[in-house]
Amino acid sequence: MCHSLMARTADPNRREAILDAAHTIFARKGYAAAGIADLAGELGIGHGTVYRYFDNKRDVAAAVLDRALTRIAEVVTAEDPGATDDLAGYRAQVERIGQRLYDLFAADRALGRLVFFDLGAVDDELRERLHAAHELFAAYTAAYLRNGVAKGFLRADLDVDTTARVVNGMIFEGAAQVSRTEDPRPLRERWIRAVVALLFDGVAAR
């Protein structure tokens, strides 16, 4: 009876489970207020066990952040920046990315709290990783823009690198918004339409 509760073998899913718990708890209480014991308690394991999988608390946060950023990056980098040849194709592509990103943050509201609030405050190094991800995303967006300029369906005078960051700002503002909203589903189309309209045509009347 007792032996069924005792150690078996190293569980490779255990690490993931800890990260899941940390993802939830860090988002719920904030990194500083969350304790290692909270993570372990969520999983019903001893808190010493966490140290078999991570060096320390900060290391858990780093892994949580990396996983979160990877998940976001998978959406951002899912499309091929050079695949489109006209405005309509690009617009469709942007809409697709927008929808996936929106759905990602809507499905896991903790995600936005972590990347926009909690984990950026942990550490200079984590902030740096966040920044690096921003740069990566900006590079991707820039590639899209560069492709459009090269193929002639985007303005020739576009400051591609700067505009890429501006565009990302619009998009991530939406993601942050989603993370704050109780039920963000109803706003999905509205948000995407607003972003796409602004991005392609601006606000000026024609």
Partner DNA sequence: CATGAATGAGTCTTCATTCAT
Partner DNA sequence: AATGAATGAAGACTCATTCAT
The residue among 71 and 117 lying less far from a copy of itself, judged by its C-beta, is 117
DSSP state of 116: I
Q: Where are the beta strands (DSSP E) in 14-113?
A: none
- Sequence-distant (6+) residues with CB within 8 A of 141 are 164, 165, 167, 168
CA distances from 62 to 108, 121, 125, 128, 149 (A): 18, 12, 9, 11, 37
Give backbone dihedrals phi and psi of 4, rounded to 5 degrees, phi first: -65, -15
Which position has the token pair 């984590």?
126
Amino acid, res. 151:
K
Binding to DNA by residue 151, rule CB under 7 A?
A: no
State which of positions 50-79 bind DNA (CB under 7 A).
Answer: 51-53, 55-58
Binding to a copy of itself by residue 174, rule CB under 8 A?
A: yes
Alpha-carbon distance of 190 to 197, in angstroms, equals 10
Q: Which stretch binds a copy of itself (CB under 8 A): 12-20, 47-55, 56-64, 118-126?
A: 118-126
Alpha-carbon distance of 58 to 65, in angstroms, equals 10
CB count, 10 Å around CB of 52? 12
The interface partner of residue 82, options being DNA, a copy of itself, none and the CB cut-off 5 to 8 Å by kind, is none
Q: Return the SS3 of 97.
A: helix
User: Using the rule CB under 8 A, which residue among 92, 99, 123, 143 binds a copy of itself?
Assistant: 123
- Smallest gap, in angstroms, from Cβ of residue 164 to DNA? 37
User: Using the rule CB under 8 A, which residue among 117, 129, 136, 143 binds a copy of itself?
Assistant: 117
Residues binding a copy of itself: number (CB under 8 A): 59
Residue pair 93/144 in contact (Cβ under 8 Å)? The answer is: yes
The interface partner of residue 173, options being a copy of itself, DNA, none and the CB cut-off 5 to 8 Å by kind, is a copy of itself
Binding to DNA by residue 33, rule CB under 7 A?
A: yes
User: Using the rule CB under 8 A, which residue among 53, 102, 137, 191 binds a copy of itself?
Assistant: 191
Binding to DNA by residue 47, rule CB under 7 A?
A: yes
Residues near DNA (CB under 7 A): 6-7, 9-11, 14, 33-37, 40, 44-49, 51-53, 55-58
Residues near a copy of itself (CB under 8 A): 1-4, 30-32, 87, 116-118, 120-124, 127, 131, 145, 148, 152-159, 162-163, 165-174, 176-177, 180, 187, 190-191, 193-195, 197-206
